[in-house]
């Protein structure tokens, strides 16, 4: 369930992650690359030189929030310089980033804490901020979403959860965070259109996976189409009082722009093979026969009608029952769509 756990402190982090619902998604909370053993002094010196080539910032934070932000900054610099981590040397490097008046922390370290970077950082944080309430504050922040968070919600949520798990392990404080609670907060912060698409995409999948699909590529900047118009801000002429705020919706990538301006408008869908939209925006579904071969093509047009092209279905069955099974597969609940049936080569009974 938690692959990559290779030292006692990461095991402790996994224990803290157990207080987070597994339905939220996979959590890997290590800020530094996978540790490795280096057998020669030359390799260690080369690694230290590569990591310390940029000037690492000092830990001059006045509260735990700033301390965590500074550590994340250091971890990002180290990640850009190396693909692996030598934990004892990394602890020495981090110790060198402490101001002179904080070097007394080294006298409080145990042998285990001088071998694992996260354990060392937790010891520093507990020494500097013994009465910190940041763990509880960050737990509340994880459940609240500002309008500026919505465009990059998967990235913001992952970063918040990673930090929450580390804080829970550091202070041995394990509040329960369920996927149901987090899901309710996400839906309440977005529009009705977003909520409908969220429920259609969910289908029992982990929460983080659903969010990543809804927002497209989580690394791509831009406003998701399903965020409320008030979150996106007004563009163009100001609307009159009482007029509903609207925003463009790209039919290619779900971005907050028109399709003719989309940089992906020449993209070819790998589902239907037609150029002009992503697979997640594809209106075509293929229904297989009993042998797994795609036999029928169901396309939803813009008016909501279903166009069904019946193909060469080789399923041995009573024709009337097969027709009923085919039509039921394109129904959604009690909604009865209008169907245009086009006769196929081997389904003359239709």
In three-state secondary structure terms, 288 is strand
Instruction: Please name the residue that has the structure tokens 């763990």.
Output: 135
Q: What are phi and psi of 349, to 5 degrees?
A: -70, -15
Is the Cα torsion angle 40, 46, 47, 52 positive or negative in sign?
A: positive
Distance CA 71, CA 10 (A): 17
Distance CA 6, CA 93 (A): 21
In contact, 32 and 90? CB cutoff 8 Å: yes
CA 253 to chain centre: 17
Q: CA neighbours within 13 Å on the CB side: how many for 56?
A: 28
Which residues have CB under 8 Å from 185's CB, separation 6+?
Answer: 143, 144, 145
b or e along 11-22 (b: 16 or more beta carbons within 10 Å of the residue's beta carbon)? ebbbebbebbbe
What pLDDT is attached to residue 318?
53
What pLDDT is attached to residue 230?
39
Distance CA 309, CA 300 (A): 12
Residue 214's closest CA among 258, 222, 302? 222
DSSP state of 152: G
What pLDDT is attached to residue 92?
87
Distance CA 182, CA 141 (A): 11
Give the predicted TM-score (pTM) of the model: 0.57
The runs of H, that is alpha helices, within the chain are: 8-17, 41-51, 64-81, 87-96, 117-128, 134-142, 153-171, 179-188, 192-202, 207-214, 229-232, 319-328
Is the Cα torsion angle 135, 140, 142, 146 positive or negative in sign?
A: negative
Which residues have CB under 8 Å from 343's CB, separation 6+?
Answer: 310, 350
What pLDDT is attached to residue 275?
81
Q: Over its length of 350 residues, how does the chain's per-residue pLDDT go in tens digits?
A: 334 444 555 555 655 666 676 677 766 667 887 778 887 888 888 888 888 888 788 887 788 999 999 888 888 888 888 778 888 888 888 888 888 888 788 777 777 777 888 888 888 898 889 888 898 888 888 888 877 788 788 888 888 888 888 888 888 877 778 888 888 888 888 888 888 888 888 877 888 888 888 886 544 434 444 443 333 333 333 344 444 444 566 777 766 677 777 777 777 887 788 888 777 778 787 777 666 666 677 777 666 566 767 665 555 555 555 555 665 555 443 333 444 444 443 332 23
What pLDDT is attached to residue 162?
86
């Amino acid at each position: 369930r938690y692959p990559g756990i290779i030292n006692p402190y990461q095991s402790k982090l996994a224990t803290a992650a157990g207080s987070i619902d597994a339905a939220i998604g996979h959590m890997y909370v290590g800020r530094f690359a996978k540790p490795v053993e280096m057998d020669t002094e030359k390799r260690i010196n080369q690694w230290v030189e590569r990591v310390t080539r940029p000037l690492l910032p000092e830990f001059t934070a006045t509260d735990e929030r700033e301390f965590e932000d500074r550590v994340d900054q250091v971890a990002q610099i180290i990640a850009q310089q190396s693909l692996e981590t030598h934990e004892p040397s990394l602890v020495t490097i981090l110790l060198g980033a402490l101001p002179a008046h904080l070097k007394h922390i080294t006298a409080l370290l145990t042998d285990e804490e001088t071998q694992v970077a996260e354990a060392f950082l937790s010891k520093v944080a507990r020494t500097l901020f013994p009465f910190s309430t940041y763990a509880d504050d960050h737990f509340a922040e994880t459940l609240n979403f500002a309008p500026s968070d919505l465009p990059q919600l998967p990235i913001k949520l992952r970063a918040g959860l990673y930090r929450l798990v580390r804080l829970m392990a550091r202070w041995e404080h394990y509040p329960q965070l369920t996927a149901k609670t987090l899901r309710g907060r996400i839906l309440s912060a977005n529009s009705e259109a977003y909520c409908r698409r969220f429920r259609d995409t969910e289908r029992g999948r982990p929460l983080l996976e659903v969010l990543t699909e809804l927002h497209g590529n989580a690394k791509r900047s831009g406003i998701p189409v399903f965020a409320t118009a008030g979150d996106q801000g007004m563009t163009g002429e100001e609307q009159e009082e009482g007029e509903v705020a609207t925003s463009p919706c790209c039919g290619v990538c779900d971005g907050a722009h028109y399709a003719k301006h989309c940089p992906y408008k020449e993209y070819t869908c790998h589902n239907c093979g037609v150029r002009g939209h992503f697979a997640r925006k594809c209106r075509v579904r293929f229904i297989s026969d009993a042998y797994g071969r795609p036999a029928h093509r169901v396309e939803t047009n813009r008016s909501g009608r279903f166009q069904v092209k019946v193909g060469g279905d080789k399923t041995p069955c009573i024709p009337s029952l097969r027709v009923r099974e085919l039509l039921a597969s394109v129904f959604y609940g009690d909604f009865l769509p209008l169907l245009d049936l086009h006769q196929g080569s081997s389904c003359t009974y239709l």
